Structure 1
Amino acid sequence: MTAKAPQNVSLYKRYLKRQLNLFYLSLTFFTRIPAPKNMYYSPSLLNKSGRYFPLIGLLIAGILSIIFTVISPLFPVSITVTLLIIISLFITGAFHEDGLADMADGIGGGMTLEKRLTIMKDSRIGTYGAATLLMALVLKLLLLIELVEVNALIPSLFLGYSLSRAVAASLIYDLPYVADIDTSKSKPLANKQSPFELKLLFIIGLIPAIFFSLTTLLFIGLTLFIFRMLFKAWLIKRLGGYTGDCLGACQQISELLIYLVIIACLTPNLSV
C-alpha cells in the first residue's frame, strides 16, 4: 500500500499537468492571452483542448469584471460598457464575431452549398455579415447597459461567457463537419467529442448558475435548448453540418439570448 501511494501521486500530477496543458492550448486558440512557452502542442491535443472552451469564457468574464469594477466609477454606464465590449474583442481577437459575420455572409449570399462554403472562407465581409455583426454588437451594448442598471452585470457576464461557449462547442458532438479540413481555421475542432467532454463543457459552463434563481435558470435552459435544436436543424438544412464560423455564430447568439432571458426575468412583470 505504501509503495502505491507515491505512484498514485505521480499519476495524479501527470494528469493535472496534461489538463493544464490542454487549458493553455485552448487559451492560445480562442484568445490572444499568452500561454507558457513550454506548452506541448499536437493536433490531437488541440482538439481535446476544446473541452475547456467554457473555462476560457469564465477567465474572460473575470477580467472584464475586474475592469468594470475599476472603471465604472470614472465613466457613465454607456461608456463603461462600450469599453468592456472593446476589451472583450481585443482579448478574443473578435474570433467569434468574425464567425457570426462569415456565417451570415455565406448562408445569406450563397445559393448552393459550395457557394456558401466559399463565401464563408472569404476574409472579406459582405452586406449580410456587416449588418448582422452591427446588430449583434448594438444589441449586446444595450443588454449590458440594462444589466448594469439592474445590478446583474457581473454574474451575467460569467454565465453568458461560459454557458454560450458550452452550447457552441456542444454542436461538435452531434453534427458533421462540412468545411475543407485542410484549409479551415477550425481544423483542430473538427473531430467528434466524447460524452465525457460534452458533460464537462456544461459542468464548467453552468458554474455561474449559483448566482441565479432556479426559475431564471429554467427559462435560460429552455431557451438555449430550443435555440440549439432549431439552429442545428437549420445548419443541417443549409450546410449539411457545421463549420468553425457556425460555432462562433452559435456562441454569439447564445450569449445574447442568455442576457435577454436574464433581463426578462428581472423585470417587475416576472417575480423570479
Structure 2
Amino acid sequence: MELEHAMELFAVFGGIECDIELDFLDDLELLIRFSFVERYLEFSNLISPSYLLEEPYRYILISIARGDGRLTNVFRKARVGDTLGMSIVNQLIELGIVELEESREAPLKKYPNQKLEKSLRSYKIEAKIRFKQPFYRFWFGFVEPYSKDLSQNRSQRFFENFEQHFSRLNSLVFEQLSNELLNQHYNDKLKSMGSYWDVNSEFDILAKTTRGETVVGECKYKNRRVCKSELTKLKQKAEVSGLKADTYALFSKSGFSNELLNSEDEDLILFELEDFRKLL
C-alpha cells in the first residue's frame, strides 16, 4: 500500500480499524461511499456512547471538528455558554474522545500594571481541543453534519463537502504524524512537542529537546514541492513571535526544491513522505 493512500485511510478510519471489515486496498472514495452512505446506520453505531449524536454534544463535537479548536470559538459556533461548554468538554475528555492541548504562550503582561495596546486588550490565551482518534474527527466534521441526507441515502452534499475540505483533514493528520516522526528522529527524547500558537501566528510544531534546544517545524501536505521561500517565511514568523530556534524542520508530502535539498544549513532537517514509513 502506498504511503499517501495509507495516510488518507488513517485520516478517515484511524482508531476503528479493529471494529470494521474493509478492503483497504480499494479506492478511497469507494470505501467512503460503502461505509458512510450504503452503511451509514451501521457505522453510526460505532459512535459511543450514542448520546454524542444528540444535542448539545453533537453541536460541540461538530464545532471542534470544523473549527480551529480554540475553546471560545468552539462554544460560540455551538451556541453554548462557557459553563455548559466546559462541562461537556470535561465529559468528552473523561470518555477519551478529545483532549486539551494547553497554550504555551507567555502572558502578554510582563508586570501587573502594564497597559496593553487597545487591539490586544480583548485577546485571550486559551487551550485548544483535539480529537484523540481521526475517525471521530472525520465523523463529526464530514458525516454528522449531513446525517439526515445520509440516513435517506442521499450523498451529493456530503461528497461536495468531502471534495472541498478533505485536504485540510489530511493536513491535520500529517501534522500529527510529523510530530511523531520528529520525536523518533530524536530517539524519543523530546521533552515537549506539539503545535504552538500566540497572538502573532501559529506553528505546526514547536518542540524542546532534553538538551534544551528548540525545534520549529512546518508541515506541508500539498501536491507541490516545498521551496526555500517556505523556510524563509517560517523563520520570519518565528522572529515575530520571539521564538529562538536552534533547528528548523520541514515536512513535505511532495518533496523539496533542489535549492533546499542542496542546502548546507546545519540547522535544517528535511523529512519527505518516504521517511514516514519508519512509523509503520
TM-score, length basis structure 2? 0.27
TM-score, length basis structure 1? 0.27
Structure number, greater radius of gyration: 2
Instruction: Tell me which of the two structures has the higher relative contact order, counting C-alpha pairs closer than 8 angstroms and 6 or more residues apart.
Output: 1
**Larger strand percent:** 2
